[in-house]
Amino acid sequence: MTFAAPMLAGIVAAIAIPTLIILYFLKLRRIPREVSSTLLWKKTIQDLQANAPFQRLRKNLLLFLQLIVLGLIILALAQPRSATTTEQGKKYLILIDRSASMAAVDGTETLGSKSRLERAKEEAITLIESMREPSVFAQGQKADEAMIIAFDASAEIIEQFTSDQAALINAINSIEQTDAPSSIEEAYRLAQAQRPNRVVTDANEAGEVLNTIELEELKGGDPYFFHLYSDGRIPDIQSVRADQVEGQFAFEYHAMGTPTSNNIGLVALRSERDYDDPTKLSIFVGVQSTDTIERSVDAELIIDGITRSVRQIDLPAATIDDTTGQKTTATGGVVFELVEPNAVLARVRLDTNGNENPEADVLLTDNEGALIVPPAKQAAVALVSSGNLFVQSAISGFPLSKFEIMSPSEYEAKRDRGDMAVFDVVVLDSYLPRANEQGVRLEPGRYLILGKVLTGPMGVADNGVGPGGAIIDWRRTHPVLRDLTLDALLMAETPKIEIPKGSGVVSLAETAQGPAIFETSDTDVRAIVVPFDIARTNWPFDVSFVVFLASAVDYLGTGSVVTVDESARLIQPGSVLADRLPSDATGVRVQLPDGSRSPEIIPSADGRIVYGPIEQTGLYTLRWQGTPGPNDIVRENDVQRVFAANLLNPAESDVSTASTVSLANTVVSTESSTQRKRIMDWWPWLLMGALAILMFEWWVYNKKMYL
């Protein structure tokens, strides 16, 4: 028990208690009267009034009750509290994880069916209630302050530093669950940005300040007492540095969930049409289990709302390393094969209700995923070349709806007449079309450019060529390069190109000199560019060259390969919905999975729109009035383009709670966190007790007067 204002209570006690006792020393100065009998005056001759001092103090119930009332009031003025506090108010930084895994419902029977986020909010509110509030009488003491930050893939300050407990509690209650993955780096940067800049002063020998410098790079101010409410599944937790207070790290990790929690969820979803027969559609499903016993789940394939197939997936048991205690998740999968020439919305749903153990799947967010599958199509390809047998012979063997070889002059003539619109892909072999007045070389369409560097508005900066070399890295998740191995590719000269900042150019493969393959796009144009001379490499003699050409033509011409990483129609929560619309698009809005619509989005000059970040899984429909694209739907006087948001994140589906978190400067375990109790102010209860005794004293006094 501590007191916030003991000095004030002592002063009041030194004045009030002696005053009350002195009043009871006073006695009545009587006037002599002659009466016939004192029998009727027996009760009234007691000292009920006093106007003279030095009465002998006798036992008196009223004095005893009044002393108790006065003592309770004085004790209330001292503001007793049930926890130790310091004069310097603390700054609490409360970090609450709202990522997908925090939706897991696991725990004991006493916790009920609460999610991890709900329990995190309850514990954070308990911490807020334990903070020291501003003192009315103890002006020298500062109240504790707290700031609330909620984070997933991004971060948001829910409430700035304040000592207003009601505002902090309301802010915590306003935090909503998301389906985004977890990342704490942005949350930590937001917190650090609230600190004042460190100030350095220069002084002379006499101690006079000569100069004051404010260092924007270094932060100072009071230390933060970090409180992290999470399940610990944070991949970038090492970006956080804990403050030190009196040699101790001011960081507490409040673990939500249990280390033994199990989950089964979708972690991979991909569709692909057969290369020779595009009407044959394959949908690949990957499932992960963290349970240490074997499990079986049913995967249901739903096409445009109709169940087309149900397949069983047998999952092996997850294993635990005896040395490190780390769990290795188990994976399994299935491939659905069907004939479907049309564009479809494919859903895959896991049914885990048949498991013998009801706790084998504590997270439901990852039990369903969706794919936007384009229609079956064979590309029409035009090869513009002065004669390259390697490229010509490779493309001629592809299953194409149309293939035509033309010279650069023939291409220019057909382009001027508008005859190139019948081709899905134009392959430009060691040739670039002439530029128009704006410097633009590529008209609306899809292009594969070989042996030339595309510069200008959609291109890169050409700095010449460098010495020979090899591919040192490439984007293995891109549809064009996913099935390739480029380690054996050797070039006599490597291009020295540079991607302008802020451009839409994406590097797909790298040499020591820079990008070796890149992709560029705008509203109506998409191109994959191979800037080096293929004839001066060993690539044409490797099978990867033919595979690259086939994948590029398929990717540009048909879009038959759809995965969550590469398709603009599939997004992950935590990222943004970005696309390009026709130049006449107006009234652009996004219809959310719950049916509500976003405010109107104004496209940029090149038709780009951005919405997000996306926080929930489900279907998002981009709606506008104007010209539809090739695979868009016109319905209800609106053009509609559907996007699917899926979790598909193995790290978030692994819901076993981490017992420790490794920061940049220390390792914090949940066991090392202190069990915090609420700081209880007892003065309201003392005043209520004083009021109750005062009422009893009044009753005794009136009864005595009656008698």
Q: What is the pLDDT of residue 705?
A: 55
**pLDDT tops 60 at residue 161:** yes
pLDDT digits (tens, 9 = 90+) for 567-622: 558 888 999 998 888 888 999 999 999 999 999 999 988 788 999 899 999 999 99
CB 165 within 8 A of CB 200: no
- One-character DSSP codes across 421-464: GG-SEEEEES--PPP-TTS----SEEEEEES----STTS-EEEE
Q: What is the pLDDT of residue 387?
A: 82
pLDDT digits (tens, 9 = 90+) for 251-296: 999 999 888 888 999 999 998 888 788 889 999 999 999 988 898 9
Helical ranges in 142-287 per DSSP H: 165-173, 185-193
d(CA 619, CA 154): 21
Domains and CATH numbers, the chain: 2-82+683-706 (no CATH), 91-260+655-669 (3.40.50.410), 264-376 (2.60.40.10), 380-558 (3.40.50.880), 570-645 (2.60.40)
- One-character DSSP codes across 565-608: TT-TTEE-BTB-EEEE--TT-EEEEEE-TTS-BPPPB---TTSE
What 537-540 contacts at long range (C-beta under 8 Å, 24+ apart), as own/partner pairs, is 537/489, 537/490, 537/491, 537/492, 538/488, 538/489, 538/490, 539/489, 540/390
d(CA 101, CA 115): 9
Sign of the C-alpha dihedral computed for residues 226, 232, 238 and 239 taken in this order: negative
What percentage of the chain exceeds 90 in pLDDT? 45
Average pLDDT for the chain: 82
Cα dihedral: 433, 439, 445, 447 (round 10): 50
Q: What is the pLDDT of residue 429?
A: 93
CB 395 within 8 A of CB 403: yes
- One-character DSSP codes across 642-707: EEEE----HHHH--PPPSEEE-SS-EEESTTS-------B-HHHHHHHHHHHHHHHHHHHHHHHH-
Per-residue pLDDT averaged across 327-354, rounded?
A: 89
Question: End-to-end CA distance of the chain, in Å?
Answer: 44
Instruction: Give the confidence band of 636 by pLDDT, cuts at 50, 70, 90.
Output: confident
Residue-wise burial string across 60-78, b where 16 or more C-beta atoms lie within 10 A, e elsewhere: eeebebbbbbbbbbbbbbb
d(CA 604, CA 629): 18
**pLDDT tops 60 at residue 323:** yes
Largest pairwise CA distance in the chain: 148
Cα dihedral: 446, 451, 455, 459 (round 10): 50
Per-residue pLDDT averaged across 509-530, rounded?
A: 89
3-state secondary structure at position 349: strand
Sign of the C-alpha dihedral computed for residues 211, 217, 223 and 224 taken in this order: positive
Q: What is the pLDDT of residue 604?
A: 85
pLDDT digits (tens, 9 = 90+) for 175-201: 999 999 999 999 999 998 888 766 566
d(CA 182, CA 514): 32
Per-residue pLDDT averaged across 73-79, rounded?
A: 68
For the record, the structure tokens of 353 come out as 């209700």
Q: Decide the pairing of beta strands 368-373 and 344-351.
A: antiparallel
For the record, the structure tokens of 677 come out as 């109790």
DSSP state of 106: -
Which pTM does this prediction carry? 0.70
pLDDT digits (tens, 9 = 90+) for 353-371: 645 555 678 898 999 999 9
Q: What is the pLDDT of residue 441?
A: 84
**pLDDT tops 80 at residue 27:** no
Q: What is the pLDDT of residue 557?
A: 84
> By C-alpha distance, which of 649, 474, 644 is closest to 568?
644
pLDDT digits (tens, 9 = 90+) for 416-468: 888 888 899 999 999 999 887 777 788 888 999 999 999 887 889 999 999 99
